[in-house]
Structure 1
């Protein structure tokens, strides 16, 4: 596999994975021209050789069960046109293995990627969605009718 797929599986940034590759700490990885070829173990994960000093690595040791899927429902967007705001339907859905949660805004706390599969859509029929193995937090599950009182997501999450 390549560096993008390996970094997503390990739960680390691509830049951190490139550092580990340069240090020779990814077991069996070979550079082919400009690109890295990273083998996977029986568990489906790249193997990282721990360092002798410093803090323990924060990469994922086992593959996550299944990625969470974030989908923007275009049918609800179309259905909300012409309705008063208090009747709006949520347009963002978080699909986990057993349930669906709906809201208007969400925050993804780690790496994620956008998937576009026009010839193999998801079970719900979506052709484009976001996948992540990280925690996802809904910021708004109710539509805010007064934009002047809406809080900025960066302040809400304590990022500012």
Structure 2
């Protein structure tokens, strides 16, 4: 059979079938000039040879050497005074891998360290912050006055 009929029977596009043919993954297929001849099995379908998967990825296998930094922004707390609940800005920030995440309430799922450095502040200017190597989960990223609904898990940042 030709590529059009084979792709229809297999339920894949003709282009995908041509890629499989070029890789030699269609059992018994031969190219005759410009056209492919694809044999069918007893079930009336072409046989596709499964591909081997590539090597396993190496990302996120090493322990991180840079901790996640949790900072409670004192200036934001002061500027939030007197504002109605819908105008409050997030006061807790999580800094990890050059990215910032903001919220009002978070959970640290492992040991952490509170760091106070009055003479050597962090890049953001903080003198007091929390470092952790464990996952951090924001519980509230939209200020919610009802604690029952504010406790819905929002986002988990993994190391």
TM-score range relative to shorter protein: 0.5 to 0.7
1:104-154 deviation digits (Å, cap 9, x = unpaired): 01011111000000000000000000000110000000000335x44568x
Which residue does the alignment assign to 2:6?
A: none
**In 1, Cα distance between the equivalents of 2:71 and 2:150?**
23
How many residues are treated as equivalent by the alignment?
94
SS in 2 for 1:66: coil
Structure 2 distance, partners of 1:126, 1:93, is 11
Runs of 4+ in 1 over 3 A off after TM superposition: 149-153
CA-atom RMSD in angstroms: 2.3
Q: Tell me how far 1:98 sits from its aligned partner.
A: 1.8
> Which of these two proteins has the greater Rg computed from alpha carbons?
2
Q: Does the alignment pair 1:84 with 2:53? A: no
1:127 aligned to 2:124?
Answer: no
Q: Unaligned 5+ residue runs, structure 2?
A: 1-60, 154-159
Q: TM-score, normalised by structure 1?
A: 0.53
What is the TM-score when the length of structure 2 is the normalising length?
0.54
Please state if 1:112 is matched with 2:123: no
What is the CA distance between 1:97 and its match in structure 2? 1.9
Go from structure 1 to structure 2 and tell me whether the alpha carbon gap of 1:102 and 1:152 turns closer, same or farther (over 3 Å shift): closer
Cα gap change, 1:64 to 1:112, in 2 (>3 Å):
same
Q: Note the alpha carbon deviations across 1:22-61, whole angstroms, 9 max, x for none.
A: xxxxxxxxxxxxxxxxxxxxxxxxxxxxxxxxxxxxxxx9
Are the equivalent residues in 2 in contact too, given 1:86–1:145 (CA < 8 A)? no
Q: CA deviation at 1:65?
A: 2.7
Give the secondary structure class of the aligned counterpart of 2:78. Answer: helix
